[in-house]
Amino acid sequence: MILNTYLQKLNSNHRPIVFNTILWLAAFIILLFIFAKGETPIIIDYIYTIAFLVVMAIPVSINFYLLMPRFLSQERYFIYALLFIINLVGFALLYNLFFDKLLDILFPNYFFISYLSNTNTYIIYIIFLVATTLFKLAEDWFYFNRNENRVLKLKNQHIQTQLSSLRAQINPHFLFNSLNVIYAMALDKKEHITKAIVELSDVLRYVIYDSDTERVTLKDEIQLLKNYIAFQDYRVQASDVVDLKIDVKNETFKIYPMLLLPLLENAYKYGVDTDKASNAIQIQLTQKASKFTFIISNANKNKNTNLDDSYSGIGLENLQNNLTLVYPKQHLFNIENTKDTFKVSIEIYENQ
C-alpha cells in the first residue's frame, strides 16, 4: 500500500511551470530575432512579439492540454491529426483577420506594419505548432523515462527488502530444526555428535554467508542438500533415507539460493519415521538448457504439511514468495497433498 501510494505521487509530480517557462522564453527570443529581421530590436518589435505569443498560446495550450492527452496519447491518431489541423487553420485565420486591428486598438500610439503576410502566417503557425508538439513529446519522453527508472529502482529495493525478510525467516527456522537434532544426539550421548556439529557448521556457513547473494550455482545448492542429508543421517540412524536422483547438464546453472532446503526440511520433519526410514524421501533434480526441475515427495505422516501449519508453512510459504519475486512468469510451483503422499514440484525457466 505504501509503495503504491508513493508511485502514484511520483507519477503525478509533473512540473509544467518549468517546461512552459523554457518553451516560451525560447520562442520569444527566436521570434523577436525574426521580427526584428536580425537587427537590434526596438520597442515595437518587443510589443509585437509579446502580443503574437499571447495569441499563439491559445492554440498551443489547446494542443498541449486537450488534444494530446485525449487523442494522441490514446493512440487516436486520425482524430488528433484532424483536430490539430482545425486548431491550426482556425487560429491562423483569426490572426489574419483581427490581430493587426487589435494591436492598433490596444496601442494607438504605435504604427504597426504587418510583420507577416497571410501565407507566412500559416507557415509560422505550422512551424510553431509542430515544433512545440515535438518539444512537448520530447519533454514527456524524458519525464517518462526518468520516472520509469525511479519506479524500477524503487520496486527493486522493495523486492530486495522482501527477499531479505524472507531469508531472515528461513535461517532461524533451519537453525531451530538443526539444534533439535543436536539436542537429541546429546541426550543419547552419541559418539558422532562432534562430527555432526562440524557438519552442521558447514551447512550453516552456507545458509548464513554463502547464500547471501543474488544467485548461486546449482552445484553449490546440490552440495548443500547432500550436506544436510548427511547431517540428518545422525538423527534417523540410516544412510538410505533419501533417494536422490540428479541429472544436471550444467553445474554452473544459476538459481536463487535457499530454494530447495526448506522442501527437504519439510520432508524430513513430516515424512520420516526413524524405524521406517529407507527411501522415505524421493528427489528428482534435473537441469537441461534453461530449464530446472526439482521434484520431492515423501510419505504423508502428518497432514499438517499444508501451508497453514505454523512451522512447516514458513518454509513453503517463503518459497512461494521467493519464486514469485525472483521468477515472475518464469516458474511453476505445484503441491500435491494426498492421504499418503506429500509432493512438491518446481520448474524454473530462465535465460542464461
pLDDT top residue among 158 and 105: 105
As a whole number, mean pLDDT of residues 34-61 equals 89
Q: What percent of the chain has pLDDT over 70?
A: 80
For residue 152, is pLDDT > 80? Answer: no
- Which one is predicted more confidently, 305 or 21? 21
pLDDT at residue 194, rounded to an integer: 82
Predicted local confidence at residue 8, as pLDDT: 46
Among 118, 111, 113, 112, smallest CA distance to 95 is for 118
- pLDDT (mean) for 167-186: 69
Write the pLDDT tens digit of every residue in 237-267: 667 789 999 999 999 999 988 888 888 888 8
Q: With 60 as the cut, is the pLDDT of residue 204 above it?
A: yes
| pLDDT at site 172 | 62
Comparing 70-84, 114-128, 179-193, 319-333, which segment has the lowest mean pLDDT?
179-193
* Mean pLDDT computed over every residue of the chain: 80
Report residue 174's pLDDT band, with 50, 70 and 90 as the boundaries.
Answer: low
**Where does 189-275 have alpha helices with state H?**
193-205, 218-236, 261-271
Separation of alpha carbons 311 and 315, rounded Å: 8
Bigger pLDDT: 274 vs 102: 102
- pLDDT for res 215: 87
Crossing angle of helices 261-271 and 218-236, rounded to 10°: 20
Q: Annotate 125-187 with DSSP letters as a single string.
A: HHHHHHHHHHHHHHHHHHHHHHHHHHHHHHHHHHHHHHHHHHHHHHHHHHHHHHHHHHHHHHH
Amino acid symbol at 18: V
Task: State the pLDDT confidence band at 282, using cuts at 50, 70 and 90.
Answer: very high
Query: Which residue matches cell numbers 547431517?
Result: 231
In a 3-state reduction of DSSP, which class is residue 52? helix
Please tell me the predicted confidence (pLDDT) of residue 148.
74
How many Cβ atoms sit within 10 Å of the Cβ of residue 115? Answer: 20
Q: Which residues pair with 346 in a beta bridge?
A: 294, 333
What is the pLDDT, as a whole number, of residue 5?
Answer: 47
Burial of 2 per CB tally in 10 Å (0-12, 13-18, 19+): exposed
Q: Summarize pLDDT for 90-131 with one digit per residue, the tens.
A: 999 998 888 888 888 888 887 767 677 888 889 989 999 999
Q: What is the pLDDT of residue 284?
A: 95
| pLDDT above 90 as % of the chain | 26
Exposure string over 168-181, b if 16+ CB within 10 A, otherwise e: eebbebbeebbeeb
- Among 126, 141, 116, which Cα is nearest to 63's? 126
| 344 against 300, higher pLDDT | 344
User: Which pLDDT score, from 0 to 100, does residue 80 have?
Assistant: 92
When pLDDT is averaged across residues 262-288 and rounded to a whole number, the result is 81
Query: Which CATH architecture describes the domain 190-349?
Result: 2-Layer Sandwich (3.30)
Q: What ranges do the domains of the chain cover?
A: 2-151, 190-349
pLDDT above 60 (res 304):
no
- Residue 157: band (very low, low, confident or very high) from pLDDT cuts 50, 70, 90: low
Which of these, 95, 58, 91, 64, lies nearest to 80 by C-alpha position? 64
Separation of alpha carbons 328 and 155, rounded Å: 14
Per-residue pLDDT, averaged over 268-295, amounts to 84
